[in-house]
């Protein structure tokens, strides 16, 4: 099944899979979940990579991927990471980008892209930059045969940004980078507002539910976004859920 067979407005990931990522103990657990996400969303491959240098990274796999083992072995043995244009462009963009927009700048970059297609990675790709609570840099990439043009691109970017954040935090915990001190302290009202946003309620309905003004709600949501280091309320909700705050 390819991504062209999916309605871009209804691509969703089962909430259970996010909980499963949170509760996973081993890399095999994560690979099973990633494979299920791949099969249920119409993509060909999914790859997460931690790119920041982490002293304890050996405690957690820096690469989680559904790519075939032959390509994985070749990629790692040839040191293609430093010549991978999808990785190199990551340092120039904070937004998801399509592989079709990448211009290879060196023969080695072109070689990596050519070989990836030859080894069945997929004809098209979408790479999503990730940043953790301490600024750890990572990426999540999805590939397919039919491209990620609008509106497919925005739908997949939204959905898989959330997948990437969960994988990013799982890796950080396994690498020993997370403790209780890393979890922001939100007030009861900030949590209430985020929780109701998570249920799909808007300002007026939240106001009716909590018995406070819409102006107060905007203030609580703004302070929650600041504490959670998120530019959007949706992002703050996702991070609060991931951290177990709501």
Q: Is the Cβ–Cβ distance between 70 and 119 less than 8 Å?
A: yes
Contact of 145 with 44, CB cutoff 8 Å = yes
* Percent of the chain's residues with pLDDT above 90: 43
CA distance 14 to 235: 18
Q: Which of 213, 218, 171 is nearest to 57 (CA)?
A: 171
Kindly give the pairing relationship between strand 63-65 and strand 45-50: antiparallel
> What pLDDT was estimated at residue 4?
45
Q: Where are the domains of the chain?
A: 3-174, 184-242
Give 17-41 pLDDT, tens digit per residue.
888 888 888 889 999 999 999 988 8
* Structural fold of domain 3-174: Beta-Lactamase (3.30.450)
Residue, of 146 and 117, whose pLDDT is higher: 117
CATH code of the domain made up of 184-242: 1.10.10.10
Answer yes or no: is pLDDT of 57 > 90.
Answer: no
Tokens of 68: 């075939």
Q: Is the pLDDT of residue 85 over 80?
A: yes
Q: Are 43 and 1 in contact (CB under 8 A)?
A: no
Q: In what order do the strands lie in the sheet with 63-65?
A: 63-65, 45-50, 137-144, 124-131, 97-98
Is the pLDDT confidence value at 8 over 70? no
Give the C-alpha separation, 181 to 94, whole Å. Answer: 26
Residue 108 token pair: 């080695």
Q: For residue 129, what pLDDT is reported? A: 92
Q: Give me the chain's average pLDDT, please.
A: 85
Average pLDDT over residues 220-229: 88
Winning range, highest mean pLDDT, from 52-66, 87-101, 142-156, 231-245: 87-101
Q: Is the pLDDT of residue 208 over 60?
A: yes
For the stretch 67-77, pLDDT in tens is 999 999 999 89
pTM of the complete model: 0.70
What torsion, rounded to 10 degrees, do the Cα atoms 210, 213, 219, 223 define? Answer: -10
The residue behind tokens 């103990």 is: 25
pLDDT at residue 2, rounded to an integer: 45
Segment 98-126 shows an average pLDDT of 92
Q: What's the whole-number mean pLDDT along residues 104-113? A: 95
99 within 8 A of 45, measured Cβ to Cβ? no
């Amino acid at each position: 099944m390819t991504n062209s067979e999916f309605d871009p407005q209804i691509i969703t990931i089962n909430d259970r899979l996010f909980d499963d990522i949170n509760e996973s103990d081993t890399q095999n657990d994560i690979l099973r979940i990633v494979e299920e996400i791949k099969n249920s969303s119409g993509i060909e491959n999914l790859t997460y990579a931690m790119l920041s240098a982490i002293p304890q990274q050996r405690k957690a796999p820096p690469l989680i991927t559904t790519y075939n083992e032959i390509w994985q072995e070749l990629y790692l043995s040839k040191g293609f990471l430093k010549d991978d244009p999808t990785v190199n462009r990551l340092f120039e963009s904070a937004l998801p980008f399509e592989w079709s927009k990448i211009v290879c700048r060196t023969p080695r970059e072109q070689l990596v892209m050519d070989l990836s297609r030859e080894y069945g990675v997929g004809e098209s790709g979408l790479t999503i930059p990730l940043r953790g609570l301490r600024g750890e840099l990572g990426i999540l990439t999805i590939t397919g045969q039919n491209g990620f043009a609008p509106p497919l691109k925005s739908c997949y970017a939204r959905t898989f940004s959330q997948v990437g954040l969960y994988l990013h935090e799982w890796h950080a915990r396994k690498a020993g980078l997370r403790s209780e001190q890393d979890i922001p302290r939100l007030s009861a009202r900030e949590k209430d507002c985020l929780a109701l946003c998570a249920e799909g309620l808007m300002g007026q309905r939240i106001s009716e539910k909590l018995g406070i003004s819409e102006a107060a709600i905007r203030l609580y949501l703004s302070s929650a976004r600041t504490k959670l280091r998120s530019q959007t309320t949706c992002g703050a909700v996702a991070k609060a859920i991931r951290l177990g705050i709501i």
